Structure 1
Amino acid sequence: MNPSRKLKKRDRYLEKLIGFQDTELVKIVTGIRRCGKSSLLKLMILHLKETGVLAEQIVEMNFESYDLRNMTADSVYQYVKERIIDRKRMYLFFDELQRVDKWEEAVNAFRVDFDCDIYITGSNAYLLSSEYSTYLSGRCVEIKMLPLSFQEFLDFHDFDIRETSSAFGGMRRQIVDKNGESYTPREAFDAYMHFGGMPGIADVGLDQEKALSLLEGIYSTVVMRDIIDREKRRGQSRITEATLLRKIILFLADNIGNNVSTSSIGNTLMNEGLLEKGSRPKLPSAHTVQIYVDALLESYFFYEIKRFDLKGKEYLRTLGKYYIVDIGIRNYLLGFRNRDRGHVLENVVYFELLRRGYDVAIGKIDQLEIDFIAITAKDKRYIQVTESMQNESVRERELAPLQKIPDSYEKIVLSLEPGLDVSYDGIQSLNLVDWLLMK
């Protein structure tokens, strides 16, 4: 994080942290590198200080720091112990703690030995693996952090959303920059689709060359530190081919929103000449591909979504889909293009649903597919995503699976061009950009 930049609010996540403040649960913030986890800890520290907690009650350790590179679980424990104030509640913040071997033993000891409230960040789901859960099972809460939403993107880049009366009645939204220049929401959304939502881009500005340089750094760090280094820390050597890893990344990035199996990945890479054949072609086994894919999921680079059969009421084991955590990173990997815009829009909607607290699956009803079933404890909705609803054949295709669903939960089609009709037999047709800007 750029120390000269004022911390921008990430209220959705900060409110979750505050909600668990002073409970015995260890708060664990997870997410891809550079998505804002360190800044979130700093926002929490600011909140503590503003509510009366003294600076000496707060211990911060960032294990990305060169000064802390050789620390062990024992030395972390000693470092904290020396700073404990008698009869005062302590607040302990550990950034990228997974870099310390057996860190969970130190954290468990803090819980037992001191009156403290503990906050941790990690850039790899290995942090929450079975070895970890044996120490803190039931005593931790995970707060999953994502890159910026469209609304957060506007805020980070100092755009204001203004609503004015339209000459034809109703309200019209305008996006206004710090110089007073005005843009349509669609223009601002196109910038979001171009640059993505990594917070660091706000430091370099909406400059393509600088943004790509920043995204390259994030990509390299994820691959080298959170995948290759993680294998070394585990004492394993299952991911040995950096070239194969990159090609699987490129394949998944190119196939967001497509039904994919691990066996098909290896076959496609071979058939398209993406693997060097040599004198004896070497096809990676489905098991090997799965290990590489799992590593990408663990580093929060890609997210997998399962299919749910609405009639059989069960999750299907075959042909899930993958979405990439940030469209800007995808643009860095594949270049800027428009040919699969529908799947890119799906990608944006999928992560927005996660931000809003939904569990998300693909829906299957007979031979038709619903892009997303989004569920919370109190709500369920079915969502289709398409670029435009103005073409009659596209309308029929998008509405058909929703029309077959027998229940009465909300059914929505999100598109950039909804057309004049706001609903079709009770199925809402909403502007995707307006939906992203809804509170």
Structure 2
Amino acid sequence: MIKRESYMRRIRPFFGGELIKVMTGIRRCGKSVMLELVKQELLDSGVGAEQFITLNFEDLRNAPLCRSEALHAEILRRAAAIPGKAYLFFDEIQEVQEWEKCVNSLRVALDCDIYITGSNAKLLSGELATYLGGRYVEFVIYPFSFAEFLELYRTIAPEASGQQAFQKYLLAGGMPYLANLRYAEEPSRQYLTDVFNSVQLKDVVKRNMVRDVDLLERILAYVMANVGTTFSASSLSRFLKNEQRNVAPETILNYLKYCCDAYLFYQVKRQDLQGKQVLSTNEKYYIADHGIREAVFGGNLRDINLILENIVFLELLRRGYTVTVGKTGEKEIDFVCEKRAEKLYVQVTYLLATDETIEREFGAYAAIRDNFPKYVVSLDEFDRSRDGIKHRNLRDFLLAEKWD
């Protein structure tokens, strides 16, 4: 179990406080492990194990507690026997009906520190905003970064070079459980396919009462084939019409939103850098884990440009950046990244193999006159930096503690 210090660093300041700590993210990305890491640090700080109350609501033994009143009564009963503060850990809380009422009441009634996880972005919308507005802090948990993957993979294949490890990461992705399978190809593919099916069924179809599952599957296949490619709901509607499926763009947008709510995809809007406005059409979508794409759809090495973009995009999110696609005239910048007063631009490509590619990647910055850092990242081993634009090897870029 690796420490995932980048997350712990952000969660740690809230230990023992009254704010509810909410960890969200796609199924099997490591949220339950984060709860265990929090528990371990609390134990190390002197909290007694008898002060913990832990419930996983995917465990059928806890099915009787999946109603708010029943859960509330059970926690009050258990907490009465705890000396001092109670530490409550609720895993996959969305399985509990009206859980937000229960959690808010426990927050008021008990001297407690509450940690919850969930696999749906709707967890923090609607009624929750009413009951817990201003009383929670959210942490989105992602599958392993390349740095986290490398730390674990080297315990399994200590002789692997950085290049070999990255090749494995390109195909396997970052789902934590794969280390238990020692990244063996067939078991890993089976596991990732099962994760995908579980997300599709539990977090998309059942939660949103999707009736046309065939249509959903076609949309999923299209988006996975086109990760990182600009498209609109209208163009997807036309594509499906060619396959004899008439579907309104609004329906497609709804289905895509369901997938984003389940953290399967991330939508990235385009920004006109000259007009300083966010554009309302032709977004891009990236998948939460490129290993799932390889298992379900295949072709990660064939579509390596798209997958490298996907990997860099997720790394930017892990580091807390808000990301848009930049547009300047006819040119496009892969990622415009902002975080408080920070800003940087990133272009991603496989190799700077031709003069045309070099001109396209570096030339994308020609119309941008500010002094924020501008990067071109690729798998080239030689530094091609020029005109104040920094060229970085993609593996080094992912492993850098900070970008200068």
Pairwise CA distance, 1:30: 0.3
2:151 aligned to 152, 155, 165, which one? 155
Q: Structure 2 vs 1, CA of residues 420 and 132 (structure 1 numbering), >3 Å: closer, same or farther? A: closer
Answering whether residue 135 of structure 2 is matched by residue 139 of structure 1, we say yes
Q: Name the SS of the counterpart of 1:393 in structure 2.
A: helix
Pairwise CA distance, 1:337: 4.5
Aligned counterparts, 1:309-388, within 5 A: 309-388=272-351
Answering whether residue 251 of structure 2 is matched by residue 256 of structure 1, we say no
Q: Which position in structure 1 is the counterpart of 2:24?
A: 30
Q: Kindly indicate whether the alpha-carbon contact (under 8 Å) linking 1:147 and 1:199 is maintained by their aligned counterparts in 2.
A: yes
- Supply the AA of the counterpart residue of 1:250: A
Q: Kindly indicate whether the alpha-carbon contact (under 8 Å) linking 1:373 and 1:381 is maintained by their aligned counterparts in 2.
A: yes
Higher helix share: 2
Pairwise CA distance, 1:399: 1.0
Consecutive unaligned residues in structure 1, runs of 5 or more: 1-6, 160-175, 232-236
Q: Kindly indicate whether the alpha-carbon contact (under 8 Å) linking 1:389 and 1:419 is maintained by their aligned counterparts in 2.
A: no
Q: Which position in structure 1 is the counterpart of 2:259?
A: 296
Q: Which position in structure 2 is the counterpart of 1:243?
A: 214
- Supply the AA of the counterpart residue of 2:157: D
Pairwise CA distance, 1:229: 2.2
- Supply the AA of the counterpart residue of 1:372: F
Answering whether residue 76 of structure 2 is matched by residue 74 of structure 1, we say no
Answering whether residue 362 of structure 2 is matched by residue 411 of structure 1, we say no
Pairwise CA distance, 1:10: 1.3
- Supply the AA of the counterpart residue of 2:304: R
Pairwise CA distance, 1:79: 1.2
Pairwise CA distance, 1:418: 5.4
State how far apart, in whole Å, the 2-side matches of 1:195 and 1:358 are: 25
State how far apart, in whole Å, the 1-side matches of 2:187 and 2:161 are: 25
State how far apart, in whole Å, the 1-side matches of 2:266 and 2:316 are: 13
1:127 aligned to 116, 123, 126, which one? 123
State how far apart, in whole Å, the 2-side matches of 1:45 and 1:87 are: 17
State how far apart, in whole Å, the 2-side matches of 1:224 and 1:388 are: 38
Measured on the aligned residues, the alpha-carbon RMSD in Å equals 1.4
CA shift digits 1:116-154 (9 cap, x unpaired): 111000001121112211100111111000000001111
Q: Kindly indicate whether the alpha-carbon contact (under 8 Å) linking 1:204 and 1:210 is maintained by their aligned counterparts in 2.
A: yes
Pairwise CA distance, 1:263: 1.8
Q: Which position in structure 1 is the counterpart of 2:394?
A: 432
Q: Kindly indicate whether the alpha-carbon contact (under 8 Å) linking 2:51 and 2:83 is maintained by their aligned counterparts in 1.
A: no
Pairwise CA distance, 1:195: 0.5
Q: Name the SS of the counterpart of 1:353 in structure 2.
A: helix
- Supply the AA of the counterpart residue of 1:158: R
State how far apart, in whole Å, the 2-side matches of 1:374 and 1:309 are: 14
Aligned counterparts, 1:11-30, within 5 A: 11-30=5-24
Q: Which position in structure 1 is the counterpart of 2:44?
A: 50
1:227 aligned to 190, 200, 204, which one? 204
Q: How many pairs were matched up?
A: 399
Q: Kindly indicate whether the alpha-carbon contact (under 8 Å) linking 1:153 and 1:192 is maintained by their aligned counterparts in 2.
A: yes
Q: Kindly indicate whether the alpha-carbon contact (under 8 Å) linking 2:153 and 2:165 is maintained by their aligned counterparts in 1.
A: no
Q: Name the SS of the counterpart of 1:402 in structure 2.
A: coil
State how far apart, in whole Å, the 1-side matches of 2:215 and 2:357 are: 38
The percent identity for this pair of structures is 40
CA shift digits 1:274-303 (9 cap, x unpaired): xxx3xxxx4111111111111100000000
Pairwise CA distance, 1:60: 0.4
State how far apart, in whole Å, the 2-side matches of 1:60 and 1:395 are: 54
- Supply the AA of the counterpart residue of 2:285: Y
2:187 aligned to 210, 224, 227, which one? 210
Q: Which position in structure 2 is the counterpart of 1:166?
A: none
State how far apart, in whole Å, the 1-side matches of 2:39 and 2:51 are: 10
TM-score, normalised with respect to structure 2: 0.96
Q: Name the SS of the counterpart of 1:120 in structure 2.
A: strand
